[in-house]
Structure 1
Amino acid sequence: MNSPAATFDFDHCLTACAQGDRRALQALYDHEGARLLGVARRIARDDATAQDIVHDAFIRIWTRASSFDPARGSARGWVYCITRHLALNAIRDTRRETVLDEADIDIAPPASGGLDDVELWSGSAKIYRCLEQLQAAPRRCILHAYVDGCSHAEIAVLLGAPLGTVKAWIKRSLKALRECLE
């Protein structure tokens, strides 16, 4: 007995989506939507987030169907890969968020023996001096990563640099900053 996935023509469906056939997208949704939602739920562990992920996945499938290359893998695998990557990105993004409540905002002054304002300013001045010693592109990588919260891939796009180069710049820059701050 053939499985439902074996009888559904994913390649034809993606080709039709690339040509603007909305019925093909609807057929894909009807056929795989529930299973993709299951994948997103397992990763996100939240129904509302999982539903958003699947919605975004189908938008991406629709807008990027023409970029599917059957030589690089199966059409079904491509659809699942999009959903999985969006789910993982959603999880990574929520881990970056820091929720502050009023207790966090109303920070009490440090007890005696703590850092005073002069010590805090001198420490921040030192990091600025160390950052200035880095070349421009690696410094921008560090700032995008640790100030803006960008992923390595996002930084690569922002700087127009290869992903491996961005990772190497960040690794070397962090080492240089550690040495400078010691």
Structure 2
Amino acid sequence: MARQNDTAEIADMISRCALADRAAFRTLYQRTSAKLFGVVLRILRNRAEAEEAIQEVYIKIWQRADRYVPGQYSPISWLVAIARNHALDMVRARRPAGDDLDAAMEIPDAAPDPERMTESSEDGARIEACLGQLEADRADAVRGAYLDGYSYEELAERFAVPINTMRTWLRRSLIRLRECLTA
């Protein structure tokens, strides 16, 4: 229920930003900047660039708040789309123009060689085998956190457990995985 409440509050803050309400904008920033920073950082893979980008993202949010239509999209999805698109634009902008095809032919193939692929598939099989030794909900939580990028809060809500319990699950599961992989 709290999640639906949060969604309504964030939608309201965006609407108030469209009316140039600086207090609402400040609150919106405080409530959503960590999530949007994570999205931007994941795309840019550079903390300094991500810090600069997140400021530009919030400028866009302030300028485009009047374009948000409540009910058409979830407010978080709308905010994430702005952040994601801005970060992707930055990635595209830093790519050099591909005019020289001869230079492109000299770039080594980044694809793994057959030996590397075999090692990788063996590692993946070992990890899956070790995950199989965990309780099903613990293994799903580990996959959710480390493969799908869910936060502790999202996982705690998904598995209907307190957030500290989720942290404990993940910490203990990682210890068991490490022990299994080093055995």
TM-score, scaled relative to structure 2: 0.50
Mark the structure with the bigger radius of gyration.
Answer: 1
TM-score, scaled relative to structure 1: 0.50
